[in-house]
Structure 1
Amino acid sequence: MQSLKILLLGAAIGSATALPAAASSSSWYNSEGGKVRLVTSGKADAAGRIQGVLDIALKPGWKTYWRDPGDAGVPPQLDISGSTNIADAQLSFPAPQRHDDGYGKWAGYDYPVSLPVVFTLSAAKDPAVIDADIFLGICETICIPVQTRLTVDPGSDPDNAEDTALVKASFAALPTPARSDFGINVLPGDHETLVVEASFPGDAEAADFFVAGERDYMFGSPARSEKDGKLIFTVPILDRPSTTPTDGGLHYTLTSSTGAVEGVLPFP
């Protein structure tokens, strides 16, 4: 079933360009399962950074993916190489939910979601135009990839209160940084497993651990166990690079009944 889903996804790929909007947000791009747009706060800070969101309005029964899409999904991607005075764009992700739809297991969202993004200007005091190629999967029983270009001139409407409020709320909803009483401790594993001990508030049944397969890592669904009163997640390593990276790490999110935290763990 997984290969069928991938084939259906691949056959559905197309592209379109949304008309540019003279505002701190782009026009909506409509697809079968929902619509997407880019929204910005309009103003760069002193360091030349503009906050924004990739706003995904899903129709009922449709879904989209976290930074790690699971067995056969499509993670959201944003390419700003065609932009003017934009050096970088970094997406962030709200805490996901775990799903099994019969075709595969995946982490993501089955409700409208706004993904925060920070745009970094090449020259902090110069005007900028965001010209972003967007690629993400919006899925019901099969995936309909959304591929479009969204354009925003953040300086054209820098005081749009509605856009600013959406951006502010989306950043406020992100997981907070992990801490000693709410986070994970990596335990000894082996070449085929990642093992972590979780600390969190609230009910253990509500806790879940998500780790992103990045840098050629691929992970399966975690198994839960308890040791000395601590919740342990054992995650199968389905694939890994031939050489373990020495820089950076893997993004993770730990959820609980009272909220979520995120961090980066060493490459196993």
Structure 2
Amino acid sequence: MKLSLRSHLAKTGICGKCPPMWKFIAFASLLASAAPFSRPAVAASSPWAAGTGVKVRLVTSGGPDAEGRVKGALSIELAPGWKTYWRDPGDAGVPPRIDFSDSRNVSSVDVAYPAPHRFSDEGGIWAGYKKPVRFGLTLKATDPSKPMELDAKVFIGVCQSICVPFQAQLAVDPGKDADDLTDAATVAETFAALPAAPREDFNAIEAKKTPAALSVSATLPKPNAAAELFVAAPEGYSFGPPKRIGSESGKVAFSVPVLAGDIAAGAPRIPYTLVLQGGQAVAGDL
């Protein structure tokens, strides 16, 4: 029987009452002593950091552009049979955390996630990936005229017959080896594989909010097409798996159970990813 990370922490007393939207504080407390030491940034990409069933590395495509932006990728290689989680995996999973707070000359970081899959197993229903995956990173320099040094603390959960947390600290200097064609190709491929921006014939919008559910109206290229909706709950909120409940006037209706938080009183933006059966996807905010 698979024991989820959340269940393990609850049983060990580290997380006696895990909230519906899992936070990383308990995991950080559990593994802080095992965190690898940070190494000086010597290149625009980091070495691989390996753990049980997984290895990760950080890659950038060179120094800041004219607007002070650096693009990069967090590469996650999974061993056969292993899985990892999307940004909001649901009650049975652990969202990834990428912390750049110890970096130099970085004012903001945006993380973009490939379209996930929905899984159902002994641990519950969750959203994530069963193949190697890359997260797209866009980092903004505080001062574009100065060098940027990246220090990323990465925390993810991976599962096979058991679920285990993985933590690594990765350091890179985007200005070193800035013309490396392999790194540039890796970052370009990462962004090319991300969901597209919503368009007129393929998007999702918020239809109605109640204390119990969020109603979403989706437009698909073909109204009867098979599609899945994934939503990421804002801080302080938790959602259940969206359910397709019907269609009307060419629109497809989804209902998203609200497990925690008063969604009817108003909430911050709610990121979504809408995925067709063949893998085509768009991502935006409700």
- Superposition TM-score, scaled by structure 1 size: 0.90
Q: Is the 8 Å Cα contact of residues 39 and 163 (structure 1) preserved in structure 2?
A: yes
CA distance in 2, matches of 1:80, 1:59: 26
Matches within 5 A, 1:34-183: 34-183=54-203
Q: Is the 8 Å Cα contact of residues 255 and 261 (structure 1) preserved in structure 2?
A: yes
Q: How far 1:222 moved relative to its partner? A: 1.7
Q: Is the 8 Å Cα contact of residues 94 and 173 (structure 1) preserved in structure 2?
A: yes
CA distance in 1, matches of 2:97, 2:118: 20
Matching of residue 4 in structure 1 with residue 7 in structure 2 = yes
Q: Which moved more, 1:138-147 or 1:39-48?
A: 138-147
CA distance in 2, matches of 1:189, 1:31: 42
CA distance in 2, matches of 1:171, 1:210: 19
CA distance in 1, matches of 2:175, 2:58: 14
Q: Which amino acid aligns with 2:252?
A: L
Q: Are the structure 2 counterparts of residues 113 and 20 from structure 1 closer, same or farther at C-alpha, using a change threshold of 3 Å?
A: farther
Q: Which residue of 2 aligns with 1:16?
A: 36
After superposition, the CA RMSD in angstroms is 2.3
For 1:25-69, what per-residue CA distance to the aligned partner results, in whole angstroms no more than 9, with x for missing partners? 011110001100100001211111100011100111111111102
Q: Secondary structure at the match of 2:94?
A: coil
Q: Secondary structure at the match of 1:237?
A: strand
Identical-residue share of aligned pairs (%): 42
CA distance in 2, matches of 1:203, 1:57: 36
Count of residues paired in the alignment = 264
Q: Which residue of 1 aligns with 2:211?
A: 191
Q: Structure 1 stretches of 5 or more lacking a match?
A: none
Q: Which amino acid aligns with 2:66?
A: A
Q: Is the 8 Å Cα contact of residues 57 and 75 (structure 2) preserved in structure 1?
A: yes
Q: Are the structure 2 counterparts of residues 5 and 61 from structure 1 closer, same or farther at C-alpha, using a change threshold of 3 Å?
A: farther
Q: Is the 8 Å Cα contact of residues 41 and 149 (structure 2) preserved in structure 1?
A: no
Q: Which residue of 2 aligns with 1:261?
A: 282
Q: Is the 8 Å Cα contact of residues 215 and 241 (structure 1) preserved in structure 2?
A: no
4+ long deviations beyond 3 Å: 5-14, 17-21, 202-205, 241-246
- Superposition TM-score, scaled by structure 2 size: 0.85
Q: Is the 8 Å Cα contact of residues 74 and 135 (structure 2) preserved in structure 1?
A: yes
Q: Is the 8 Å Cα contact of residues 20 and 27 (structure 1) preserved in structure 2?
A: no
CA distance in 1, matches of 2:240, 2:8: 18
